[in-house]
C-alpha cells in the first residue's frame, strides 16, 4: 500500500535523527574537518530521502546511507586536493598533565589528517566502523587487497607519528 508523504517524511526524520550523530562522527574522521563532514552527511541524507520510498527493500538504511556518504567523501577527496593537506596551524595543546590524554587524541587527529584520503577512509571503515576487509572493499569499490595495503600503509604511518605507541602503552581500550 502506498504510504502518504507525511508517513514517509516521519519515518525518514526518525531515521535521520538517529543516524546523524554516528554518520557525522565517521565522516569527521574520514574528512578530517567538522564542517566538511557536516555538509557531506546532510548531503548524503538528502540523497537517501530521494529514494526513501524504496527503503523497505534495503537491508539496512544506515548501511545504505553510509555507502552514499563514503561515495561522497571519496568523490570530494578526488576533487578537492586541499583536503589532503595536514593542518598547518596546530591546535594549542595544554601541556599540563591533566590534559595529556586530550593532546594524544589531537595527535591522532593530526596524524590521521596527514594520511592520504584513501588510506584514512580505509582505516576509519576498518577500525572505527568495524567493517571486515571485504565489507570495506565493497563499500569503496576496490579489491580486498587494496584495502589491506591501504590500512597497512596507514598503520605504518601512524606508528611513525608515534600515536599508536602512545595508545599501546596507555590510551588503548
Partner 1 sequence: MTTNDESGLRGGLRELAERDATGPLQVAELLGRARRRRKRFVGYRAAGVAGTALCAAGAVFAAGAMWGGSSTTTGSAGSLAPQTCVSTWNDSASLPTPNPGVAKALLPGNPQAGLACLYSAGRLVDSVPLLGDRFDAVVAALHKPVKVYSFRCPAAVGKSGVVLEFRSEDEPDVFISMSAQCPGLSNGALTQVAFNSAGTLPAVLAELLPKAQQ
Q: Applying CB under 8 A, which of residues 7, 9, 94, 134 lies at the interface with partner 1?
A: 9
Q: How far is CA 92 from the centre of its chain?
A: 24
Burial track 150-166 (b if 16+ CB lie within 10 A, e otherwise): bbebbbebbeebebbeb
Q: Which of residues 13-52 bind partner 1 (CB under 8 A)?
A: 13, 16-17, 20-21, 24-26, 28-29, 34, 42, 45-47, 49-50
Rounded-to-integer distance, Cα 5 and Cα 77, Å? 35
Q: Is 112 in the site for partner 1 (CB under 8 A)?
A: yes
Rounded-to-integer distance, Cα 116 and Cα 154, Å? 8
Q: Is 123 in the site for partner 1 (CB under 8 A)?
A: yes
Q: What is the three-class DSSP state of 146?
A: helix
- Each residue 64-93 as x (binds partner 1 by CB under 8 A) or -, in order, gives ------------------------------
Give the CA diameter of the chain: 62
Instruction: Give the interface with partner 1 as residue ranges (CB under 8 A).
Output: 9, 12-13, 16-17, 20-21, 24-26, 28-29, 34, 42, 45-47, 49-50, 102, 104-105, 108-109, 112, 123-124, 127-128, 130, 151-152, 155, 158-159, 163-164, 167-168, 171-173
Amino acid at each position: 500500500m502506498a504510504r502518504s508523504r507525511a508517513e514517509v517524511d516521519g519515518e525518514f526524520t526518525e531515521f535521520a535523527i538517529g543516524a546523524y550523530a554516528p554518520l557525522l562522527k565517521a565522516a569527521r574522521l574520514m574528512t578530517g574537518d567538522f564542517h566538511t563532514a557536516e555538509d557531506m552527511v546532510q548531503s548524503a541524507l538528502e540523497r537517501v530521502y530521494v529514494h526513501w520510498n524504496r527503503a523497505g527493500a534495503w537491508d539496512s538504511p544506515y548501511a545504505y546511507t553510509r555507502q552514499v556518504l563514503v561515495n561522497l567523501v571519496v568523490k570530494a577527496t578526488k576533487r578537492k586536493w586541499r583536503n589532503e593537506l595536514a593542518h598547518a596551524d596546530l591546535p594549542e595543546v595544554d601541556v599540563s598533565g591533566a590534559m595529556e590524554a586530550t593532546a594524544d587524541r589531537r595527535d591522532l587527529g593530526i596524524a590521521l589528517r596527514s594520511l592520504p584520503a584513501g588510506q584514512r577512509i580505509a582505516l576509519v571503515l576498518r577500525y572505527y566502523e568495524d567493517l571486515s576487509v571485504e565489507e570495506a572493499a565493497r563499500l569503496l569499490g576496490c579489491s580486498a587487497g587494496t584495502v589491506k595495503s591501504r590500512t597497512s600503509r596507514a598503520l605504518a604511518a601512524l606508528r611513525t607519528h608515534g600515536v599508536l605507541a602512545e595508545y599501546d602503552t596507555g590510551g588503548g581500550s
